[in-house]
Each structure stands twice: as structure tokens, then as C-alpha cells.
Structure 1
């Protein structure tokens, strides 16, 4: 300042000048104290000069940095002003338009051509007005723009009339899938009614069956047969209803649900939607997806489906929904009531062989870059692979086994170009390609000991065999169960035990047996949960076999629910159970009399090689399971204590006889 300069001029002593300069320099208090304590004027001035030099260096560096920053800012400002001037000049000359104005005009024009409903029209006009007042750089502008673009991309216009041929649909289904006569007939009947009625409303088809039987591919074939757009999404493990109905726009990154996304992608108002794994949906604090699907799949509500993100009604009633599931047990009843259920059963051994030769082998060869001239499978080899490595309801593991063989053959052909072709897959090479067989003849189920019986089960994975084992121990008539049995199955055991005990006289069983024996009943594969009433007669046979010390007839399996009065009640999944029995080389099956009509509806191919016995009471079951039982006499009952005492008396009498004989010999 001016006052400071005057003070500097008035300072006539070098020491005072040094002190004054030290007081205004940017130095810490300790260094200022050091200058004050320096009494020699020359030394004091030298120290001050060092500080002044440092300050000059710092000031020079700061000046360079500031100059560089100013230069960059000036360039950015200059570029910005030039761009703005260029835009203004181009607009004056009509060479370009404002992007924001252009976007709004384009959206207005598009919405004007769409047949929006009244609520949608009001919402669009309101959002367009808001968009005009927003700055292009604001976050809200981007959100509103995305919202309007999604609405404009939806298929608002009525679709063209359906034009498909039943014969063409039949050819597509025959080409894509082997067998499945019932399923194909049901689908063709559905398409015929749709064509005859000319109903534009969609439908809901539920395809139920074990894994690997072709549920998803059937959905694709239906879309091809109808010549419609196809969209698939899975809801397995989904526990957030927002995935179906969308998120509110207030959330960052909010998007519409799967239904609206599918309509936007297919650009069709009547596409085919495949909703996969509907039986595996979850529920959480975020909502219930199954409840969200109720609105989508209900014909009475889906004419005005309201996605949470869009918040305007949209008609999805013309969409053909196809859902897939492994079981109906976990699908909520209100949701199931809205569907037409079509069951896909497992495949027989002959069907697997035909599928492998016609579909799986060519598909696997193409996948691995091989041709029919390079590798060859005989029918015997394909059957052996299916029986020993892929004994399942579907053909997924069968395909995996073929892929594994083809990969190894491809490696051989690359490593040995001179290898003779075609490479013929032989039976003795399967262990080299696939390892040891997963299913071997020695492991085929056999009830070859008293207390064993073979039943048939039906699960989400298809049909299966069920071995029941019973063993008695000394006790007071208690019953112990192991093998992860569900409540219904435990009740079946109680019914079987009560029935046999109540009719001990009729079965020529000493009633005292139940008072002196505990029964332990076990179902192997203890890690797998089991439930259902259809093992009731199997439990009874195992218990009867244990008590009477008889072995059940070989190659026989059974299924049926038992009542306390001895009646055999009907069961479900008969076809799946028959296929499971055939996979395990079982030749005879006992079924409830009420299921005979279901048996008559099955193809001869399914029933081929199996003898069926329809029964109405448990007595009929026991006569079939124990043919020699009629000749059995009532065996006198002895408790474990009586048996042990009798055995001791027998040993004493033998010892006395031996001693007597020795004595006579010596005499």
C-alpha cells in the first residue's frame, strides 16, 4: 500500500529494513524469531535475502501455473462461443434445427399417428409440455425423454389378422419334436379353435413336465406355427414383482417390467410370450411376482394392464402366453385356474433312441464341426448310452453324453489327421469316452429279502422307483421312520401299520408280534425329501413281508393309496410311473382299479412289455405280491425272550444227551 511504501522510504537503517521485510514475508514464527535474535546486521540482511529469494521462486511457479490455466480457460470459452455462433448462423440459414425442438416435434408427430387411449394421450401431452420447459442438460430431461420414447415404441396399432395353416403347424411340430402325440393334438386343437372362432384375445397355455422333455422348444414351435413374434423370459428365483410390473420413475435407472419390454422388443401387439420356470418363483419383502402375474394373465383384467413405470393402461389381452413348469404343486391356485394345462411326460427307451438318431446326433455333430462321414453311431450304442448314462425322463443328459463323445473324437481327428474315418463308436470304448456307467444291471432294484417292497413315485423330475425297507427289533410296538418322509407319507405308514395289526387274524399273524417288536421303516436316498400318499400299498406290502418272513414276487412294483378299510385309491402321474418302471426293467405293475381308465388312454408303446394288475383292495395286492401265501400256515409266535429261553433249553438237552452217550461208551 501507499503507507507501506512511505514507511520503507523513511527507514534509514539497514537493520530496521531487514526487520520490516521479515515481518511482511510469509515465514513461520520460529524463522521470524531467528531473524530478531540475529544481532549482526549483515547476517540479518543475508537471512532476509534468502527468504525473499524463496518467495520469488514460489511466485514464479504460481504465475506459470496460473498462465497455463488461464490459457486453457480462454480456449474453452473461445470454442464454446464459436460453437454457439455457428449454431446461430446455421439456424439463421436454415441449415439445422435445435435437437431438443427436433426431438419434441418428432415425438408429437409419432404420437399423433398412434391410436392412444384417452389416459395415455393426456399423459403424453403433459409430459411433452414438461419436456419443452426443461433444459437439455438436466437429469429430469433424460428421464422424461426415455419415458416418452418407450411409450412411442409400444405396439399401439391393432395387429394384422392371424393367418396360419393347420397343416403347416402340424409339419412344424412334427419336424421339431418326436412323439408327443397327445401334446401335438392338443396344440392343433387349440389352434383350430382359435382359427375357427377368429378370436383376437390371447390364451394361457401351461406346459408341465420333467426337465429335458422339450417344454421350451414346444413354445418356440407354437410361435413358428402361428407365424408370430416370440419373446422368452424366465421367472425362476424371481422374488421382486417390479421385474414383472416395472419400477416407479422416481427411482434412478427405473425401467418398465418384462411384459412391456417384450412388447417393445417384438413390436407386435399379439406375440407369443414364453414365461419359463413359473413354478420356481419366490416371495420376499419386495412383493410377490405370482400376484403380479395374476393381472397379466387374467383375461378380465389384462385389457388394461398398468405397468408401474408407464402408469397408463395398455391392452395385452391379444398376447398368447405360454408358461412352463416342472410341477403344479408350487403354482398358486388362483394363477393355475387361469391356465390350460398340457402335460409333457417322459420318453420311453424307443422314443429316446429315435430322438437321438433323428435330432440329437445331427445337432451335436454340427455343434462340434463334425460330419456323418467322420463319426458313426449304431442304434445299439445309442440305446446303451441312453440306458447306462442317461436313464432319465428327458433327453438332456443323453445330449450331454453325445457332446462329450464328439468332443473327444474331434480332438483325435485334429491330433491325428491320418486317422481312418468314419470313427465308429464301439461298446468297449464307451468307458473311455464317458467313464464308468452311471446305471448298471447290478443296481437294478430287487426286493429279494423279507421286509422289502418296490413302489413307484412321481416327482417334478418325472417318474421314479421307490424302495421300502422294513426291519424289526425287540421292543414294545413302536414305529420309527427314516428317509426324509413328509407328513402325508408318515400318515401312510401309520395307516399300513394299523391295518395289518387290525387284521392280524385274517392274515394268519399272531397279534402278540406287534406288542413285542419295534418296526423301523426306511426309504433309501435319505438326502432326498419324499412325500405323497401313493406309497400306501407299498408300505403295507413291506410290513406284511417282514412279519410273515416272505419275499415279494420278483420284477413287481406297485402304486396306490391305502385307506383304513383296505381300499386302494387312485393316484396321479401314471404314465411317468410306468416309464420309470420300464427304465428299471420291471415287468409287472400293480395299479388302482380307478386308474384303469387312465391306462386305456395311454399309447401301446408306453404299455409295451409290462403286465398290469388293477386292484381295488389290499387283499388283492397281497395275493399278487405273495403268490405262495395261501399255503402259509400260522406260525406260532414266540417273543425274543421265549425264543432265547427255548434256545438255551435246547442247548442243555443236547449237552445232557452227549454226556449220556459218552458215559455209555465208557461203560
Structure 2
């Protein structure tokens, strides 16, 4: 009897086990089938999404593909090729406003370099592009898309090496760019910690990684991970950093390792050339004057194309066939664009008005009218007022900041000294007001001789022709001293219709004599300036 009961129990147990086993396999098959169906459905959804695409924007379609497509950057492009297309390519920092072709030119320069017989770059050299404004990193080196990181087992979970306690190195952009070019857009925004790490990589040409979980004697660790921890990740590349910041805002340690190249804002003629290419290539119908109208409101190709694209969208909505001046005016008004191209300077004589020249921190030049009025007052009651300038500038240092007086005010102090000591003019008996346009934040020493001539003209009622421009610092001894940005200033003066420009003798170059339609005159001192500009010397030098 006991045997029968035991047999029945065993039979029931076996049947229950078989039932549970079948149920488990059934559920497993159902889960596997459900998972596969879900995966297949998601894959199909992804492929369907890939089939959907909007029409390519005009700005993308017209992105430069070759060197001939880069407009207005002849010198900068030549410098970029010189830096990359050699046996010993250099690291580069490119300064320039948005939309002037920094990224496109860098890609094209690498393609040109790869085609050179003696190039250091192989034909498969990569162009890795990242944006410094979006780079994020972790202090524990868990994630670092620029330099690279190590995923320790504690963070891997059930990953490939997590269960084995093996640290897993992850390569960053510097390693992905090995043998090619790493392009960092807005490099001036890079965090100081990242910047220091990058400088170390540029010096060592490899990335050294470390982990407390790494044991060089552990045979379970794969050979390639041993090699990474012992020899580092390769990172022999050439850096091209692009920035819209001023040169003074870029860390000196980075600047000292790089060739610096400035991309200029596009001039009126360059914008016209770009738009003509687009209209011809895309068969766009435009009214006479449309291209010229757009070119008056932009300084880069991207904005010019955006205005044209918006005008095309407008005529499409209105069922028009041709873009008119009215359409462009509507785009300019709705987009809030402001005029950037000044009217051509006409040949007119003015009292107390001089055409000065300036250059921005990004290397773009321009003309600026400097105006001055003078009134005789009672003895010793005079004063000097300057408007439209940066009164005070704060300069940020690593651990401190300093403030300095406007450099234009310092130049005016020099001018007053010259009038008093060299020409014996009692400036303290006059009210003098010098003004710069409010739309051009002005500072720097290069307006020295221009302000002197404006005061001289107003003081002695001597006219100056508006098609004469000048730049140069004035010392207390009346010497005209060298200033920066001369090529950009000459180009801007020429574009504005200036016929004659005075520059310091120390800045003179034989290449400046090759310019058409403008005469470049070097001067050593203020006496030469007075003799060249004014019909007669009203005041004489004190012996």
C-alpha cells in the first residue's frame, strides 16, 4: 500500500514538473516571439522615417565644395593651405565672424592636402568636427567625448567586461581624428579643464588613461586593453580651431602652438558674386537691383542666402515668378536686418570732419567719420569732450581683472601735448568736442592722426577732402607710429570710395603700391601729414 502511495506521489510530482516546464518554455517562446515582433516593428518604423526627408535648404545646397567656391578669402585660404599642405602640417586657429566659410575652407584644405604628393596626410585621413559649446565631461572621467574616458566595471553593469571586472576604455574625438584633422568649432568656449587636457594631447600626441581597476598582471584583460593602458591611445592629428572671439580672449598657451589665420567679413562685391553664382546655378529669376539690395544688408554668405531663400518662399506663396525689390524689402523688414554697407564716400571738402579707419578684433576693416567742433572761450576756460567711444575697458585675467582708460582718450592727451609743445597752441582756451558714430564702439590708438587733423581743421577753418582717409598713432613728439590691420583698412577704404590713404611709414609695404584706384601714402610725422592734406600750414613748429 505504501508503495502505491509513494508511486502516486512521484507520478503527481513528475506531472507537475512537466507541466511547469512546458509552461516555462511556452512563456519563453511567447516572450521571444513578442520581443522579435516589437524589434521588427521598431526597425520598420525607423526605416520608414529614413524615407522621409524635407527639401535641402538653399544654405546647405550652396555650401562650398571646392576652393573656387570660397569667396572673399583668397589670402586666408592660401595661408590655410600653406599650414596643412606640407610635410610638416601645423595646428591652426581661424578667427572670423559666423558664415564666412571657416568650416568649409578647413574641409577643402584637408582635401587639397591629401591630394599632394608630399603630404603628411593619407588619402583616408579623417575630418572630425565637434562643437566646443556642446562638449560635456565628467570630473571622474566617466564620459569625455573630446579626450576619451574609461568605463570602470562599477559603471558597466552587465556589459561586455563588467562581469569580469575589466575596465573598458572609450576613445574620444582626438583619437578618432588620428592621422587627420580635428576641427573644433567655437574653440574659445572650451572649458579650461578640457583646454588643458587638449594641450597635453597636442604635446604628447597620445592620450594616457588610467583606472584603479586595471592590473597589468591580470591575464583576463584583453591584449588591446593592456596596450591602451600601457602605451596610451594614439592621437596624432592636426587641430583646426575656429572662433568668433577676439585673439586676446584665446588662451596664450593654445595660441603659441598654432598658426593664426583671420577670415574677413565679406565685402559688398563678394556678396554680389555669391548671389550671382546661386541665381545662375538655381535658375532663379530676379528683378534688377535685387542682388545689390541684399548685399547692402549682410557681411556673410549665409545671411545673404537666407534672405534670398525667404524671398523665394514669399513669391511661391504669392504665386509670383520673379523676386522683386519689394520682396527683398519685406524680408529685410520682417527679419530686422540693418544696413551694413555705407554709401560711397563722395569727394567733398569739410571743416572738422575726417575719414578714419578701424579694424575689428576679427580682422575686418571699415571707415568711420570723425567729427570735431571748436569754439574759442575765455582764457583757461576751455575743455575737451569725446563722445561715441568706450570710456573704460575691463580686461579679465586668469585670477583677476584690470581696468584701463580708453585708449582714444590717451591718444587725445598726446594730441593736446603736440599742439602745446610743438606748435604753441593754447588748447586750454578752446572748447573741443570730438565725436565718433555711436554704432561703431571705438577704442584703440590708430585714430591719433585722424583726430589731430579733425581738431586742426576745425581750429583753423581748414577744409579736408572726405575721400582722404588716415590711420596711425601719434606720439607726444609728433611721430606717426605703426598700428595694426593695415591691409584690412586699405581694402575697406577702397571699397568705400576713398582715393588716398595715409599710413605710418613703419607699416608701409611695396605690395600696397599695387592697389588700383587708391593711393597709399606713408608718413613719418605729423608735419608731413599737414603738408600733404592742407593747402597751407597755418601753424609753425617751435624751434
Please confirm whether the aligned pair reaches a TM-score higher than 0.5, indicating the same fold: yes
Q: What corresponds to 1:648 in structure 2?
A: none
Which whole-Å CA distance do the structure 2 matches of 1:204 and 1:255 have between them?
Answer: 26
Q: CA RMSD in A?
A: 4.1
Render the CA deviation track for 1:560-579: whole Å, top value 9, x for unaligned.
11112122122222222223
Gaps of 5+ in 1: 1-77, 91-170, 364-370, 414-418, 506-510, 635-667
In the alignment, what sits opposite 1:214?
A: 101
Which of these residues, 479, 498, 523, is aligned with residue 384 of structure 2? 479
- Counterpart in 1 of 2:477? 565
Does the alignment pair 1:466 with 2:374? no
In the alignment, the residues of structure 2 paired with residue 554 and residue 500 of structure 1 have an alpha-carbon distance, to the nearest angstrom, of: 23
Partner of 1:278: 187
State the secondary structure of the residue aligned to 2:463: coil
* Rounded Cα–Cα distance in structure 2 between residues aligned with 1:334 and 1:185: 25
Q: Residues 337, 172 of structure 1: CA spacing in aligned structure 2 closer, same or farther, 3 A cutoff?
A: same
For residues 518 and 276 of structure 1, what CA distance do their matches in structure 2 show? Answer: 50
Contact 2:366–2:492, Cα closer than 8 Å, also in 1:
yes
Number of the residue aligned with 1:256: 144
1:524 pairs, out of 427, 437, 442, with 437
Q: How many angstroms apart in 2 are the aligned matches of 1:214 and 1:440?
A: 20
- CA pair 444-291 structure 1, distance change in 2 beyond 3 A: farther
In structure 1, how many angstroms separate the alpha carbons of the residues matched to 2:343 and 2:75?
35
Deviation at 1:457, TM superposition (A): 0.8
Higher helix proportion, which one?
Answer: 1
1:264–1:519 Cα change, 3 Å: closer
Q: Deviations over 1:385-443 (max 9, x none)?
A: 31x322x3x33332232223222122223xxxxx5x4x2x4557643554598368769
Alignment of structure 1 residues 272-311 onto 2, 5 Å: 272-280=181-189, 288-297=193-202, 299=203, 301-306=204-209
Q: Check the 8 A contact 2:469/2:493 in 1, yes or no.
A: yes
Structure 2: how far apart are the matches of 1:590 and 1:258?
Answer: 48
* Match of residue 13 from structure 1: none
Q: How many residue pairs end up in the alignment?
A: 421
CA distance in 2 between partners of 1:611 and 1:309 (Å): 69
The Cα offsets for residues 182-215 of structure 1, whole Å up to 9 and x where unpaired, read as 3343344444423xx6xxxx74111223443211
Q: Are 1:256 and 1:308, in contact at CA under 8 Å, matched by a contact in 2?
A: no
* Superposition TM-score, scaled by structure 1 size: 0.55
Tell me the TM-score normalized by structure 2. 0.66
Q: Structure 1 residues 280 and 613 mapped into 2: Cα distance closer, same or farther (>3 Å)?
A: farther
Kindly indicate whether residue 531 of structure 2 is the aligned counterpart of residue 629 of structure 1: no
* Deviations 1:48-101, CA, capped at 9 Å, x for gaps: xxxxxxxxxxxxxxxxxxxxxxxxxxxxxx9xx9799769x99xxxxxxxxxxx
Deviation at 1:447, TM superposition (A): 8.3
Match of 1:600 in 2: 511
Find 1:611's aligned residue among 513, 519, 523: 519
Q: Contact 1:263/1:269 (CA < 8 Å) preserved in 2?
A: no
Which whole-Å deviations, capped at 9, do the CAs of 1:531-582 have from their partners, x for residues lacking one?
2221111121122122112232221211111112122122222222223223
Greater strand share, structure number: 2
**Cα deviations across residues 334-363 of structure 1 (Å, max 9, x unaligned)?**
2100001223234444333222222x4478
Instruction: Return the offset for 1:315.
Output: 4.1
1:525-564 superposed matches below 5 A: 525=438, 529-564=441-476
Structure number with higher relative contact order (C-alpha < 8 Å, ≥ 6 residues apart): 2
Bigger Cα Rg: 1
State the Cα distance separating 1:222 from its structure 2 match: 3.1
Partner Cα separation in structure 2 for residue 432 and residue 497 of structure 1: 49
- TM alignment of 1:280-359, pairs within 5 A: 280=189, 288-297=193-202, 299=203, 301-306=204-209, 314-326=232-244, 327-358=246-277
User: Secondary structure at 2:423's aligned position in 1?
Assistant: coil
- Specify which of 218, 223, 231 is matched with residue 128 of structure 2: 231
Which of these residues, 309, 312, 325, is aligned with residue 403 of structure 1?
309
